[in-house]
Amino acid sequence: MTPSFLNNNLKSIQKTEQPSFKIANNYFNYRHHEVIDDILSDCTDGYIGREQVTAYFKNRHYYKGFFAAMIWGGVSTGGVTGDNLTKLLNVTPERLEAIVLVINRLLAQQAFSQAYNYMEGEGKLNGLGDAYFTKLFFFVAAADTLTIIPPIFDKWTKLAYCALLIDEGNGQLAKQYISRVEGVDVILRTASRSAAFNDFVLRMNRWANACGVEVNQLESYIFGTHRSKDKTSHNPRFYFESFVAAQHAEVFDTQATIRRSKSREKVSHSLINLNKNKTIMSRIVAIYLSPTNKTAYTSTNIELLDISKPYGKDPLTLVKGGLGAQGYRVFSGEGGATVTANHKAMRNDPTLQVVYLNGDDLVSRKSQAEQFTDSESLKAAKKFAQELAKGQGFKQIGR
């Protein structure tokens, strides 16, 4: 049985193309590593696509292919998730190539559960979770044109997998593999993570065949579009979140809620009243993170909108309250922030970071921050930002 969602969107799925992605500027700071320099030199137009990454593996350039896959997938270079690219660059080429060879052998045997367990055990790499090592699986399998190719198993395809299982009438199987769903985050049962991945691979290949497309086309479609770019129900990310939330109580025996308001009508920036349902002057949500103190706080000051000021200069933002601080000042510019010494919770932390909320993501540049013009959306966004900080291990959350 093919999920009704796939049948209803068949034409759109069949039209899905595999775009190349513009390489983020951050990666150009790593050109002192020969492998990164070689990859960036190969990308003469500044873009990288699946075909180019696959070609590295076809030509048995496994070390270069590994990092091309990471760049294509957007491996982090800092911020909330840390500099995972540097962690991986510290691994010897011999170690990475040996891991690729093991993966190659297991995927050729269609031992998808074993490959998953290998990457969480003997082949585990610091900074490489399943969202990224399954990218590696895809490219290794695609290079060898295997009969069954494992698609990428990340945050958004896990959500899609959960929704499509339920849609297909397999709610009990979803409950077997999945503990719960928190907003858009699917929490797999620890003991059955690899089994869930195996089932995901086989079902996605079967569904792709039923749709008459390659599995990577289907994966790209259900992956959806960044929520800040398409806030309609046509975006699979919103559709799957709503669908799972509606079925959550029946399938998982607990009530679920959608964590964020998804439609924000842009209105006039004429008022600054923060009362309920009032229009407000446009604001953004900034999250200041102190890794040393495991402390975070959010700010929505209007002055944060000014991105023309460099780091460490004006605008000077006064933030009140939070963890016993009577009032403290933050210098917030496009690239970062510093906090003056009288901030009791965060002072003396050279690792202080500032990030901004954009859709479901935390971004490092202020110019990328999502803007809010009504008080209810701002309130929901601020709460969501605090949840994201908690999810990153920041135990004390100030406002």
Residue 343 shares a structural domain with residue 290: yes
For the CA atoms of 135, 141, 105, 195, what is the dihedral angle to 10 degrees?
Answer: 60
Domain final residue, candidates 234, 252, 270: 252
pLDDT-derived band of residue 176, with 50, 70 and 90 as boundaries?
A: very high
From CA 331, how far away is CA 311, in angstroms rounded? 7
Inter-residue contact 225 to 359 (CB < 8 Å):
no
Provide the whole-model pTM: 0.68
CA–CA separation, 314 vs 308, rounded Å?
9
Q: How confident is the model at residue 93 (pLDDT cuts 50, 70, 90)?
A: very high
Do 139 and 13 reside in the same domain of the chain? yes
Q: How confident is the model at residue 37 (pLDDT cuts 50, 70, 90)?
A: very high
Asked whether residue 215 is domain-assigned, the answer is yes
Q: Do 226 and 287 lie in a common domain? A: no
Q: Has residue 58 got a pLDDT over 90?
A: yes
Say which residue, 396 or 390, is predicted with more confidence: 390
- The reply to whether 259 falls in a domain is no
Phi first, then psi: give them for residue 205, nearest 5 degrees.
Answer: -70, -40
| Cα–Cα distance measured from residue 342 to residue 330, given in angstroms and rounded to the nearest whole number | 11
Residues 139 and 12 in one domain: yes
Facing residues of 216 across strands?
none
3-state helix, strand, coil split of the chain in percent (to 5) is 45, 15, 40
CB 317, CB 300: distance < 8 Å? no
Q: Are residues 90 and 134 in the same domain?
A: yes
Question: What is the secondary structure of 194-222 as a DSSP string?
Answer: HHHHHHHHHHHHHHHHHHTS-HHHHHHHH
For the chain, the domain total comes to 3
Please give the Cα distance from 268 to 282 (Å, whole number).
9
Asked whether 169 and 247 are in contact (CB, 8 A), the reply is: no
Q: How far apart are CA 57 and CA 64, in angstroms?
A: 8
Distance of CA 158 to the CA centre of its chain: 12
pLDDT at res. 333: 44
Same domain for 223 and 322, yes or no, is: no
The better pLDDT of the pair 149, 292 is held by 149
One domain for residues 43 and 133: yes
Same domain, 355 and 234: no
- Tell me what pLDDT residue 186 has: 95
Alpha-carbon distance of 338 to 312, in angstroms, equals 6
Residues 285 and 316 both lie in one domain: yes
SS3 of residue 396 by DSSP: strand
Domain assignment present for residue 274? The answer is: no
Q: Using 50, 70 and 90 to split pLDDT, how confident is the model at 298? A: confident
d(C-alpha 112, C-alpha 315), whole Å: 53
Q: Which domain holds residue 19?
A: 4-143
